[in-house]
Amino acid sequence: MAPEHDDDASVLRRQDARQKQAHAVLDLLQPMQRWERFGEPRLCGAMSYDLLAASDIDIEIFGDLRVDAGFSLVSAWARDPAVHKVLFINAVNEPDAGLGWELHYMLEEVSWAVQMWLLPVGYAGPRSADLVAPMRAALCPGTRSRILRIKEGLLARKTEYRSIDVYRAVLDHGVNDVEEYDQWCGSYSSTGLINWRPAPRR
């Protein structure tokens, strides 16, 4: 749980510590390298923006939709005693239009969810991978710490949230804290796939 009162530097240091652990998970599992046999893997989501609050890693892979591809990798990972859960999602006929695998990997008593979506090469989106560059261009230390503080606050009270809504609230509407975010959600929260891009930092 995040402290009730801390400065921006403390919030960013916690994020940096999570990044270090997330990179250790990637080094141990090697998903980016292993998926290269089947397509183009792209790191996306909170880790790619330096906005890690929850222990989640997101990867999109653009290639042929082959169920056997993902299972050939997962079958090897599942032998690792640190992998304590494996999930498969077939969303080919849904808006996501892809195949998903999720590993839960225990590292230093923290369970990391590694979510991997195999999508068609010509997938029109919205693609999380395409949001990485605009997000990094829009963020500054101040907005990054505000986003992290809101996400930490929501996690501390076990409130489900969509990260993209937190990003929209802070970057588009200047929301500063959890209370303001709660009010913002009354008018602007989203469901389903959303094609959103932040404006570049001025």
Q: What is the pLDDT along the chain (202 residues), one digit of tens a residue?
A: 444 457 889 999 999 999 999 999 999 999 999 999 999 999 999 999 999 999 999 999 999 999 999 999 999 999 999 999 999 999 999 888 899 999 999 999 999 999 999 999 988 878 999 999 999 999 999 999 999 999 999 999 999 999 999 999 999 999 999 999 999 999 999 988 898 999 888 7
What architecture is the 9-123 domain classified under in CATH?
2-Layer Sandwich (3.30)
Distance from chain centroid for Cα 124: 20
Sorted by sequence, the CB contacts under 8 Å of residue 22 that are 6+ apart come out as 47, 52, 55, 57, 112
- CA 4, CA 43: separation in Å to the nearest integer? 31
Q: CA 45: distance to chain centroid?
A: 3
Residues in contact with 200: Cβ distance below 8 Å, sequence separation at least 6, in sequence order: 134, 137, 138
